[in-house]
Amino acid sequence: MTTCRHFFAALITCLYTAGIAHAQVIRCVDASGHVTYTDGTCPNSKQVQEILPPLTAQEQAEHEAQYQQALERKRAAQQLQAEREVAQQKADAQRAAALAAQRPVPPVIVQVPPSDPITTYVPLYPPRPPHIRPPHIRPPPPIRPQPDTGSYNCNVFRCYDGKGNTWSRP
């Protein structure tokens, strides 16, 4: 059991020292101007600056290549965006032209200078025909049956015979 503990402690110590070996260096300047370098925090210092280790020639070349690739990708993306905007503007212009072609042509309004208003009168609308009431035509009176020698009765409005016939009173 203790061997496992010693093993894990050794493993953790190894990992911790490996992390310190790659830690960054911090430059500390105190109030009197004394400069110290540490990998931890600066004790009571006013100015703290992180110092990066210098890059090797190979690392500098890799960084430069990555920078150039990123710059090329950015330029390509900008060019693609510009091409898209130009294509969008062309499509908008074509759409506007098609809409303008669909609109009806406005009528041409010609204004004729007026002639002498005192001597010439041109009505705006044709005159209305006069309103003439049609004559009232009475329909001819209905043909009255001649009463038979039989009996018939008359009241104020109509006459009736024994056969079911009626007619207006004369």
Encode pLDDT of 97-121 as tens digits. 998 888 888 888 888 776 665 666 6
pLDDT at residue 5 is higher than 60: no
Residue 25 clears pLDDT 80, i.e. is over it: no
Please give the pLDDT value at position 135. 81
From CA 51, how far away is CA 24, in angstroms rounded? 7
- Residue 158: pLDDT band (50, 70, 90) is confident
Distance CA 55, CA 39 (A): 19
Pairing of strands 25-29, 158-161: unpaired
The pLDDT confidence band at residue 148, using thresholds 50, 70 and 90, is: low
Q: Following DSSP, what letter does each residue of the chain receive, concatenated? A: -HHHHHHHHHHHHHHHHHHHHTPPEEEEE-TT--EEEESSPPSS-SEEEEEPPPPPHHHHHHHHHHHHHHHHHHHHHHHHHHHHHHHHHHHHHHHHHHHHHHSPPPPP--PPPP--TTT----SSPPPPP--PPPP-PPPPPPPPPP-SS-EEE-SSEEEETTS-EEE--
Between CA 170 and CA 153 the distance in angstroms is 13
Predicted model pTM: 0.33
pLDDT at 81 over 70: yes
